[in-house]
């Protein structure tokens, strides 16, 4: 081993050491025996073996390198992509039991790399591995990264949709995916230019993800199931009726509709239910989204004011009912009532 630069050795190897510790935890000691934790532990283990091989190469003289260690490191690289793919897929689909097809798929790839390693070991076939096997390994890794991106494309869409908010567990999956893309890219660059860039990138990615986990809220939510869309779980009829009555009482008591900046979570908090639960109630039982639900309350107030308060201008009535502008008031009134505010008032004058 050569240690001309102890600091560089420390930076390159610290991520590998902690990667092994984390992988063992998720594979064998995690209290939550989830399929997702197994694949995450497997992903960390394979990455750590691959990065460990790089550290070994960097800090070991060429004449002293053990061919078996090099072969194990490259073989692990062959399975990194599929571990990432099944970790993301099992997380997105909230998988509870590993499907038989997944086991066959993983076993087949493992068998392929084992057969190649036994039939054509690195020690006696260095040129073959350098020219063909290594290229195939990186190609397979890259293909599974593309598949993995496809698995979480829905989460990426949510990231750029202002109307939807990603759960912490979804943000974690994006971070893990991007981290793997960076590591893969670093190894492609390192293959041609600077070999140690891959090991440094792994250490950086590992500790960025660790910092993400240091926040208690993130730590509690990252390894939980991704919230299912409310449409897949209907609220029972009796429960829905109780919630509807409670919702009506809360709206009457707190007059949320008169707040121009009211949010779904504000009403949900007063009802002591989650935002998902309230959204489900509105969509399934009333067939409307929250903005329409609030605007209907505002329109009912506006109709009363139009009939009872002749001293108010139409614009003032709109503001009093909770609308943020005259144009919004007019457009919403016309859409819901079928008449403009002035037409509605005129028919009763």
Task: Give 277-307 pLDDT, tens digit per residue.
Answer: 888 888 877 888 899 999 999 999 988 888 8
User: DSSP label at 162?
Assistant: T
**Which domains are seen in the chain, by residue range?**
6-222 (1.20.1070), 230-346 (1.10.10.60)
Residue 232 is predicted with a pLDDT of 45
Maximum C-alpha span of the chain: 101
Backbone φ and ψ for 321, nearest 5 degrees, come out as -80, -15
Count the neighbouring beta carbons within 10 Å of the beta carbon of residue 31.
6
User: At CB < 8 A and 24+ separation, what contacts does 90-98 make?
Assistant: 90/35, 90/36, 90/39, 91/36, 91/169, 91/173, 91/226, 92/151, 92/152, 92/154, 92/155, 92/173, 92/226, 94/225, 94/226, 94/228, 95/35, 95/36, 96/35, 97/35, 98/35
- With 0.85 as the threshold, say if the pTM is over it: no
Residue 318 is predicted with a pLDDT of 86
Residue 30 is predicted with a pLDDT of 79
| The token pair that represents 39 in the structure block | 């694949």
Residue 288 is predicted with a pLDDT of 85
pLDDT tens figures, 256-272: 988 888 888 889 888 88
Angle of helix 290-308 relative to helix 314-321, nearest 10 degrees, comes to: 140
User: DSSP label at 282?
Assistant: I
Residue 347 is predicted with a pLDDT of 80
Please report, to the nearest 10 degrees, the dihedral formed by the alpha carbons of residues 93, 98, 103, 104 taken in order: -70
d(CA 300, CA 331): 15
Residue 186 is predicted with a pLDDT of 85
Pick out the chain residues at pLDDT < 70.
1-5, 8, 11-12, 162-163, 191-196, 198, 213-234, 309-310, 349
User: DSSP label at 229?
Assistant: P
d(CA 127, CA 122): 9
- Write the burial class of residue 196 (CB in 10 Å: 0-12 exposed, 13-18 middle, 19+ buried): middle
CA 246 vs. chain centroid, Å, equals 33
Residue 231 is predicted with a pLDDT of 41
Count the neighbouring beta carbons within 10 Å of the beta carbon of residue 5.
12
Residue 217 is predicted with a pLDDT of 57
226: left (phi over 0), alpha (psi -120 to 50) or beta: beta
């Amino acid at each position: 081993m050569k240690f001309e630069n102890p600091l560089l050795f420390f930076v390159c190897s610290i991520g590998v050491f902690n990667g092994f510790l984390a992988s063992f935890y998720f594979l064998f000691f995690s209290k939550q025996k989830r399929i997702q934790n197994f694949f995450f532990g497997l992903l960390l283990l394979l990455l750590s073996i691959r990065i460990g091989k790089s550290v070994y190469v960097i800090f070991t003289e060429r004449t002293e390198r053990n061919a078996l260690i090099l072969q194990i490191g490259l073989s692990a690289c062959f399975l990194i992509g599929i571990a990432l793919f099944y970790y993301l897929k099992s997380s997105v689909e909230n998988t509870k039991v590993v499907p038989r097809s997944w086991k066959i798929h993983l076993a087949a790839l493992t068998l392929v790399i084992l057969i190649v390693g036994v039939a054509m070991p690195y020690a006696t076939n260095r040129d073959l591995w350098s020219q063909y096997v290594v290229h195939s390994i990186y190609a397979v890794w890259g293909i599974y990264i593309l598949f993995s991106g496809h698995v979480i494309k829905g989460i990426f869409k949510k990231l750029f949709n202002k109307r939807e908010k990603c759960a912490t567990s979804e943000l974690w999956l994006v971070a893990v995916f991007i981290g793997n893309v960076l590591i893969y890219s670093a190894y492609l660059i390192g293959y041609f230019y600077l070999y140690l860039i891959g090991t440094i990138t792994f250490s950086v990615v590992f500790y960025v993800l660790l910092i993400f986990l240091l926040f208690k809220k993130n730590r509690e939510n990252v390894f939980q199931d991704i919230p299912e869309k409310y449409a897949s779980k209907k609220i029972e009829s009796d429960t829905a009726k109780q919630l509807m009555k409670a919702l009506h009482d809360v709206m009457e008591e707190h007059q949320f509709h008169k707040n121009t900046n009211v949010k779904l979570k504000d009403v949900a908090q007063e009802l002591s239910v989650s935002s998902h639960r309230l959204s489900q109630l509105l969509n399934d039982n009333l067939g409307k989204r929250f903005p329409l639900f609030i605007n209907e309350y505002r329109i009912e107030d506006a109709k009363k004011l139009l009939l009872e308060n002749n001293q108010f201008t139409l614009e003032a009535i709109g503001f009093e009912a909770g609308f943020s502008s005259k144009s919004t008031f007019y457009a919403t009134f016309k859409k819901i009532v079928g008449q403009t505010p002035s037409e509605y008032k005129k028919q009763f004058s």
